[in-house]
Structures are given as structure tokens and as C-alpha cells.
Amino acid sequence: MISIVSPVYNSENCLDELVKKIILSTKILSIKIEIILIDDGSDDGSWNKIINLKKRFDFIKGIKLNKNYGQHEAIYCGITYSSGDIMVIMDCDLQDNPEFIPEMYRKYQETKKPVIVQHSYADFSIKDRLISNIFWYFLIIISFKKFSPYLGNFLLIDKSIKEKYLLTSNIGYLYGDLIDQGNEFFFIKKKRSKGARQKTTYDIYKLTTLAAKLIKKFNIISKHLKKNIKIKKKNIEIEIII
């Protein structure tokens, strides 16, 4: 089974198309799927949309967080409740194209490595690309890690990587946490769409909060002190429709 895990925030208008495209794209694999949609404290009709989709498709699993914890906390919850031997993590707004899933799966079968889509942002503004590059290259300098502005959450992992990832005591961001655990990825280069929304749900506050969290977790000084620091995961309250 392949579990497709997708965090949802104020995305009720994207979900029908997302599910439709996942179903069409994965048919050629002749393998069972489940779609896990995690509502990260949306204040629109996203949860009701997930409930209605669950009524139509029994392979959909809905998880509702009691408030907005953040994209990567939502992803962590989705991975926790996944049942597949393979997990594909992707954004819900169709910036990540479900049509790439079969290729990701085939590359995993060939290499037995986790797979991640390396994005081209050719259609995005120079300003957006410049701000992103400055932040990620700064993070590279302070962490000594090979982060990249072209790598997001669109990736495939197997059960062994999942089990190791769920032991992490401090959630940063998915790809960063996975390479921090020593995983080596196979890269697939694809052009990224602006998605159904045409704009990000990350406002200035969320971007600043994420930046501070990643700098705190991945800087080299924290790495040396990590043995003396115990960080507990957030106590996230959830409701699940299985």
C-alpha cells in the first residue's frame, strides 16, 4: 500500500481536484492507496470537505487538529497514522503534481532510496526566488547541511525511514529532519506549479516563526549542545475519521 499524506490548511477548494488527480495518477501502479488529509486548524470548510470525501472514498483517512500547529507538525501526524509500506508526502494545493507519483515510486523500486522532487521555480517572480535563496543558503552556512531552496515536502519514503523519523524529538521541517538522520535521497527534477491557490498560505508571521525554528534546530552550536537538551513534542489534540 502507498499512503499519500497531505497537510490541509484553508484549502477546501483544492481537495476535490487533489483527490481526483491522485486517483487517476496512481491507477497505473496497480497497488492499493490510502489518502491521509490532515486539517491543520483550518477556519474555512476544509474539514467538512474531508468528511464528504471520506463518504465517497473509503480509502481516505481524515485527521483534524484542534488548532493550527504548523505544516510539519501536521505532516508528522499524518505519517504517524499512515498504514502503507510506502509514504508519499505532498502539498494539497496542487503545487505538487500527483502525476509525478508513479515516477517517484518506480525510482524508489530501482534505487531503494527515498525520492524527492527538486523543483524549478521558473514561473515564480525574481523577488520570491531571491528571498527564498537568501534564507536557505544562510541555513546551509549555519548548519553545515546540504539544504536547498528547490526541495520542498514532495517526497517518498519507506516504512523503515518512517519508523526512524517518528523517533525524532524535535520537529523542524520534513526534508531537513530526514537528512539530519543520515538519509540520502534520489532527486527527480520537475517544474513546480503555482497551484490552485496561486499564492502561499504562509504569511509574514508564519514565515518568521518557521525561520526561527529551523535556525534554532539546525545551527551547528545547537548540534553540539543537543545531548544536554531534552525537547518534548507538542501535545497535539486530534480527531480521526478512519
Which CATH number fits the domain that encloses residue 163? 3.90.550.10
Domain count, the chain: 1
C-alpha cell at position 108:
524508489
Whether 50 maps to a domain, the answer reads yes
Report yes or no on 195 lying in a domain. Answer: yes
According to the model, what pLDDT value does residue 228 have?
36
> β-strands 151-158, 115-120: how paired?
antiparallel
Residues of the domain holding 150: 2-224
pLDDT for residue 222: 47
Helices (runs of H) and strands (runs of E) counted in the chain: 9, 8
Q: What confidence category does residue 170 fall into, taking pLDDT thresholds of 50, 70 and 90?
A: confident
Over residues 160-184, the mean pLDDT reads 89
Whole-structure pTM over 0.85, yes or no?
A: no
Q: How far apart are CA 190 and CA 46, in angstroms?
A: 28
Q: Assess if residue 236 is contained within a domain.
A: no
Asked if residue 95 belongs to a domain, the reply is yes
Determine the pLDDT at residue 221.
Answer: 46
Domain membership flag for residue 232 = no
Is residue 51 in a domain?
Answer: yes
In a domain, 237, yes or no: no
Cβ atoms 43, 64 nearer than 8 A: no
